[in-house]
Amino acid sequence: MKKENLLKLSQMKTAKLFTVALFATILFTSCSSDDDTPEIVNEEEVITTLTVTLVPSGTGEVVTLQTQDLDGDGPDDPVITVSGNLTSGETYQGSIVLLNETIDPAEDVTEEVEEESDDHQFFYTIGSSLDVTTAYTSYDEDGNPLGTEFTLTTGAASSGNLTFTLIHQPTKPNSGLSDAGGETDAEATFSVTVE
């Protein structure tokens, strides 16, 4: 009886070893790599360009403020341009456009922000030396500020920093950046002058 058992075992052993060898061969051959070069990934969500267009209600010049960083989070710094000075005592209609220019044609990211208006909000931070005020004119579905459009009213001649911040998933409503939480999607500071 013992002999039979041993015999059976040795047969089983051979069978087992054979299966293992077969299994290993299949695994090895089925997993050969392909030599294709990987396809390029162009960032889909990166914001390279933020442009604020300020159109005066009077006859003055349109002022554009722009920050452009074509390499996204790469080592190059953004290029900031301010087209001209603001006129005192004027009311400007402001609008903000966000672009992803790493792809061609450029993608308008503002559309996404507007589609998900509940999850976004622009904040305008005005330097203390700068005599301007802002007011939201675009709102989300719940009637809370979105801020892709706004009015900017200039006071006396002055100069200082004007900062635009886009927050993703802020607490809404809020009293300002300090209690909005969320994540900064875009942030641009411009040095502007009212004359």
Residues near other proteins (CB under 8 A) are 2-3, 5-6, 9, 12-13, 16-17, 20, 23-24, 27-28, 31, 33, 37-50, 67, 69-78, 102, 104, 112-113, 115-116, 119, 125, 127-128, 161, 163, 165, 168-169, 171, 176-178, 181-189
Minimal distance in Å, beta carbon 147 to other proteins? 15
- Looking up tokens 């360009």, which residue turns up? 49
SS (H, E, C) 75-105: CCCCEEEECCCECCCCEEEEEEEEEECCCCC
Please, what is the minimum distance in Å from the beta carbon of residue 6 to other proteins? 8
The residue among 64 and 87 lying less far from other proteins, judged by its C-beta, is: 64
The least distance separating other proteins from the CB of residue 7, rounded to whole angstroms, comes to: 11
Going from the C-alpha of 49 to that of each of 24, 65, 131, 132, the distances in angstroms are: 53, 10, 26, 24
Residue with smaller CB distance to other proteins, 142 or 183: 183
φ, ψ dihedrals at 10, nearest 5°: -70, -35
Smallest separation (angstroms) from other proteins to the CB of 137: 21
Q: How far apart are CA 68 and CA 80, in angstroms?
A: 6
Residue among 59 and 142 whose Cβ is closer to other proteins: 142
Cβ contact 52:95 at 8 Å: yes
**Smaller CB separation from other proteins, 57 or 191:** 191
Phi, psi of 177 (to 5 degrees): -60, -35
From residue 168, how far is each of 58, 162, 184 by CA, in Å? 34, 20, 6
In this complex, which beta carbon is closest to other proteins, that of residue 19 or of residue 83? 19
CB-nearer residue toward other proteins: 60 or 112: 112
CB of 10 to other proteins, least distance (A): 10
Q: How far is the CB of 180 from other proteins (least distance, A)?
A: 9
CA proximity to 140, closest of 108, 164, 102, 167: 167
